[in-house]
Amino acid sequence: MTDNIFVSEAIEPVTSTADTSRMAAGGPGLPSAFVWRGQVLEVVALHNSWRETGPCPHGGGEQYARKHWFEVQTASHGRARIYFERQARGKSRTRRWWLFSVEHDRQVS
């Protein structure tokens, strides 16, 4: 059995580990490591990825990518959902990578 834990905290990418092939295709380069709460969160596998889109802010009919989502396997925290915001919001406009949730295996007794 697993517990899905909502986190919603900014994470810092280890930029030297970014996947440059994704960047060449116009998306964010998913790093293979992030710093979260002072610890390295290592990405060992990518399970799924998708985009969240929204309408043009100027009234056009186009759809723009707002967030890029990644469901990954981590070395220490099980599965995790991470997203990248195309346009950072709030007080700190530099925070673009976020840890949305982690999924831990729970021991059943």
Which strands make up the sheet holding 78-85, listed edge to edge? 2-10, 97-105, 78-85, 63-74, 39-55, 33-36, 12-13
Domain count, the chain: 1
pLDDT at 105: 66
pLDDT at 6: 93
Residues of the chain with pLDDT under 70: 1, 24, 88-94, 105-109
Which structural domain range is residue 35 located in? 2-105
Exposure string (b/e) for 71-108, b if CB count within 10 Å is 16 or more?
bbebeebbbbbbbbbeeeeeeeeeebbbbbebbeeeee
pTM over 0.85: no
